[in-house]
């Protein structure tokens, strides 16, 4: 087994970071958040000789989940996640895409929902699942403890946090998710996020202006 590696393919007009986690030795991997531009994703898989085992979703917004149905059909694999609270979003992808003038995105219902405390894996690479609502009701994040690395979707960004003005968004709930689920992972945890460059949790705790709003949990 090799070290976990990640490749990023920006997809959709929203430049969402579709991520391929893979093992360089076994060439097995998973695709996280195939939001669209599925031919580009398939090209990257083929060029790198990868065998994709599953599709993992962080949440149900169109730029993260809109290509999941097409990729599932192309590869004959299951869609896993997010939390079932995002079902209404996943069933509205086509409607939302039409509103934004984006073609080719499709609604999707996962083969398996995830909940807080679940563990998912491919090969020997195990990820812990945390339910982190706020940006979306069913948002989940994935943490690989062995390599101190996380995929935070649209919860926390380099210098920012997820927007909460979309349906199902809740600003205070997002801050609570960051306080209770993300920050405790540890300052030295590196992360990929849904848009833009990644970072380390400690760097964001110290310098991200949006995290200064976070209040300690009341007893």
- pLDDT tens track for 113-129: 999 999 999 999 999 99
DSSP 103-124: -S------SB---TT-EEEETT
List the alpha helices (DSSP H) in 17-110.
Answer: 38-47, 62-65, 68-75, 87-90, 93-100
Residue 146 DSSP SS3: helix
Per the listing, tokens 């076994």 go with 26
- Domains for the chain: give ranges and CATH numbers: 5-213 (3.60.15.10)
Quick one: what percent of the chain has pLDDT higher than 70?
99
* pLDDT of res. 213: 84
Task: List, for residues 17-75, the tens digit of each pLDDT value.
Answer: 999 999 999 999 999 999 999 999 999 999 999 999 999 999 999 999 999 999 999 99
List the alpha helices (DSSP H) in 5-48.
Answer: 38-47
Q: Indicate the pLDDT class of residue 218, thresholds 50, 70 and 90.
A: low
Tell whether the model's pLDDT for residue 219 goes beyond 60.
no
* pLDDT of res. 37: 98
Instruction: DSSP letter for 102, please.
Output: -
- How many Cα atoms are found within 13 Å in the side-chain-facing hemisphere of 134? 25
Is 126:111 a contact under the CB 8 Å cutoff? no
């Amino acid at each position: 087994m090799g070290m976990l590696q990640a490749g990023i393919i920006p997809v959709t007009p929203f430049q969402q970071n579709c991520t391929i986690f893979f093992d360089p030795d076994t060439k097995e991997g998973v695709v996280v958040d195939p939001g669209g531009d599925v031919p580009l994703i398939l090209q990257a898989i083929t060029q790198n000789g990868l065998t994709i085992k599953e599709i993992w979703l962080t949440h149900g917004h169109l730029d993260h989940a809109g290509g999941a149905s097409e990729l599932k059909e192309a590869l004959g694999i299951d869609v896993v996640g997010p939390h079932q609270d995002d079902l209404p979003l996943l069933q509205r992808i086509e409607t939302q895409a039409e509103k934004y003038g984006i073609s080719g995105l499709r609604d999707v219902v996962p083969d398996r929902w995830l909940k807080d405390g679940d563990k998912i894996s491919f090969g020997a690479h195990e990820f812990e699942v945390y339910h982190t609502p706020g940006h979306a009701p069913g948002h989940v994040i994935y943490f690989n403890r062995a390599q101190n690395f996380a995929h935070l979707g649209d919860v926390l960004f380099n210098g920012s946090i997820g927007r909460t003005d979309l349906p199902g968004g809740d600003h205070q709930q997002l801050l609570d998710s960051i306080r209770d689920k993300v920050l405790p992972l540890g300052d030295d945890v590196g992360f990929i996020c849904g848009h833009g460059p990644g970072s380390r949790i400690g760097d964001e705790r110290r310098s991200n202006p949006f995290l200064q709003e976070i209040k300690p949990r009341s007893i």
